[in-house]
Structure 1
């Protein structure tokens, strides 16, 4: 990643921010990082929201002159999603909204906070592109539907406009594993649920990457000696480094994601999709097990200006975040170039 014009993390604070659930956050905090230089006419802005459990440091690998997002041409902003441990989250919210009283946060809430942040801090009214993978893609989709006149392009990898029922089964299995741990008491993890997080990591491993990946033992090419080595040192470690209450809250955000779940569209998904004016490039992973390409296929007839370009990969959901997979990175980078030149 280039270090040219790269900022340290900064925090935007919004007083008395009212959530969709009706609870007011006295001080909603959004931690962000920028890369590149904002053009004088502010026409070169790419918003790149975070994904499940990720913080900006986990996803900035794809920012660079020779990577997917080029900071020598674009001003790239990573807003950390609420509940990720940096922006407003269960782990950093004081009484009376701490512990089991932490309110439900939606993707809608995140996007509305991001909109206020962009206008108040940078005076940005329009985005050249919103780029997002997984939950980042859910945020990108919301941007397109909620602010159709403020977004030129959406590039969405391995995501959907509404969380499917099959996807919800996966999320429920994660929640069940976490809350089966004795650390879960009174609607809150009183301490880190070590056994629950280990179980979570192993469930996630079976869903996030395809059967073919494991059949070919591609984890060995990543430096893991055995399957158990991969499960422990990658999957268990990935979630053990995060606060369990943050992980649990973010599962709820993912579960309830729906671009039409607001007063503007009142549950009419077709209407919400049809309102999107941006050029859209949908890039599902061909072997993704929970954000299936079929979800995007069903969305396509309602989008005004969209292309469906599946990623031909055996990396499952991870195809959309190919930090260790140059082939898929090149495929996505070409999609970005095509969309930005359109």
Structure 2
């Protein structure tokens, strides 16, 4: 396998439940310097694994492994870290406990400090729910994180995004007649409808109107929906999907004892230099939600990705979007934090 495992042992989750023998799967790129201050943490997004983050890592890029030690922890529930699909009974499949973004970042902090002895992080960066984790790092460990960058990711799940996720969940639960006692009957083939639902939210209206899917060899919209959306979601374990979806729906950087639900206070408490990069046509995580957040961050630059790729402007697919993100991160890393 091309990743490593950090054993968390038995952990008490934010819910109060215990997840026994928990672990984080992670991969590192580059070397930790003697001062241990060349660290970039790059969490994975909903449904992604570390390999999906590698498009943004490379020689001469902002995330340059010849300069930085880049730590990519996999989200709990994604099938590599502790998940419904790899946890023994009685916590397997539909019985996997509820995990929050706060839990994920707490465990990532343990990985950074206990495994590597890291005390200062130059940047936490991520796409979508990875960006949400970047915000959580800034809120949970303001004295440790020097910079954060989020592209197509928000500091909480705003109502629009929550509703989209609810529709995706409903399309899966329909396969068992919305009977919660039958969830363990779900299979990956039941994820087909989930892909169809998300097809209207992951990309923008202009993307579809201009038929950009033809650039990828698809002759029709129907072919694109089955060949990309259905196919990608049917590769996911349905129970992993439901676990990550719960994490996503209940994500809020203030939903913890430090902030007690005061979202504005949580944002205002982030000391890190911040670069907030929404997709200008993102229907899933609308840019105006990010603008609200950026206005409350003490040291933020609001820098929308002008793209018709919607939420997937941050997915590493479209060259100009990728360059925009890399350039923005180059500028952010060049700014001194005076520490």
**Alignment partners' CA distance in 1, 2:96 and 2:2:** 28
**Alignment partners' CA distance in 1, 2:60 and 2:231:** 29
**Alignment partners' CA distance in 2, 1:212 and 1:67:** 29
Instruction: Give runs of ≥4 in structure 1 deviating > 6 Å.
Output: none
1:25-44 → structure 2 map (5 Å cutoff): 25-44=19-38
Q: Which runs of 5+ in 2 are unaligned?
A: none
Q: 1:239 Cα deviation (Å)? A: 1.2
2:172 pairs with 1:188:
no
Deviations 1:141-163 (A, max 9, x none): 00000000010000100111111
- 2:327 corresponding residue in structure 1: 334
- Given the alignment, which residue of 261, 269, 277 partners 1:267? 261
1:209-220 → structure 2 map (5 Å cutoff): 209-220=203-214
Contact 1:132 1:140 (8 Å CA) reproduced: yes
| TM-score, structure 2 as length reference | 0.95
Identify if the C-alpha distance between structure 1 residues 191 and 176 changes in structure 2 by more than 3 Å, giving closer, same or farther. Answer: closer
- 1:120 corresponding residue in structure 2: 114
1:211-230 → structure 2 map (5 Å cutoff): 211-230=205-224
2:123 pairs with 1:129:
yes
- Given the alignment, which residue of 126, 135, 145 partners 2:139? 145
Deviations 1:297-317 (A, max 9, x none): 111232110010000000000
**Alignment partners' CA distance in 1, 2:56 and 2:126:** 12
- 1:108 corresponding residue in structure 2: 102
How many residue pairs were aligned?
A: 334
Q: 1:187 Cα deviation (Å)? A: 5.4
Contact 2:7 2:24 (8 Å CA) reproduced: yes
Contact 2:176 2:182 (8 Å CA) reproduced: no
- 2:318 corresponding residue in structure 1: 325
- 1:200 corresponding residue in structure 2: 194
Q: CA RMSD in A?
A: 1.4
Contact 1:46 1:131 (8 Å CA) reproduced: yes
Q: Which runs of 5+ in 1 are unaligned?
A: 1-6
Residue 262 of structure 1 aligns to a residue in which SS? coil
**Alignment partners' CA distance in 2, 1:163 and 1:325:** 25
Residue 40 of structure 2 aligns to a residue in which SS? strand
